Each structure stands twice: as structure tokens, then as C-alpha cells.
Amino acid sequence: MNLKIDSIHFKADSKLLDYIEKKANKIDKYYDRAIDLDVKLKLESNGQIKDKIVEYVLKVPGDKLFVSTVDKTFEAAADVGIDSLKRQLKKYKEKQRGR
């Protein structure tokens, strides 16, 4: 699986990138046919406490799975997003077996 991490309108430090990469690489355990995972890190500047956005786009054969999460920290948003992506992958796999 190819992993691409983009930070939009800010420079992400290597510690954050390593954390997200470590979490994202666990996706291979749930579905080994994943093609690409694009991760976008965004800062929302509207004065809210929860202003860190993490978006995942996972390309799988014949489909794309999308997750967007917002939280106080990028780490928390990344964790929630990966959990949601795992649930979507499980449903996707069940759907594939049902065909």
C-alpha cells in the first residue's frame, strides 16, 4: 500500500508524521489489497477548540473509502479516523464476499 501524507497550510513535524504513518500501516492487517492511502492534515482557523482535521482516502480495488475526523489534536483525530476506516473496511470485505 502506498501512503501519502499532506499537511495543508502548515508544516507537520516528523513526530506527527511518524505517528500517523505507524497508525496507517496497520490498515494492511485488515485488508491486504489496499492500493493507496492519502492522508490530509488540515488546520481550521475558526476559533473552535476542535480545529484539527484529518482526512483519509483509501483506494481499494473498484472503490474508495473516505473518512474525515475533527478533534483537539491531530493524534486524537488520526486515532478516531483509523478506527472508522477499519469499520468501513470490514463492511467492504463482507460486501465483497457476498457477491
The domain of 88 spans 2-98
* Angstrom distance (rounded) from CA 69 to CA 10: 18
Q: State how many domains the chain has.
A: 1
Helices (H) and strands (E) in the chain, counts: 3, 4
Using CB atoms within 10 Å of the CB of residue 12, give its burial: 0 to 12 exposed, 13 to 18 middle, 19+ buried: middle
CATH of the domain at 79: 3.30.160.100
pLDDT digits (tens, 9 = 90+) for 5-55: 999 988 999 999 999 999 998 888 888 888 999 999 999 877 677 789 999
What is the structure's pLDDT at 4? 96
3-state helix, strand, coil in the chain (%, to 5): 40, 35, 25
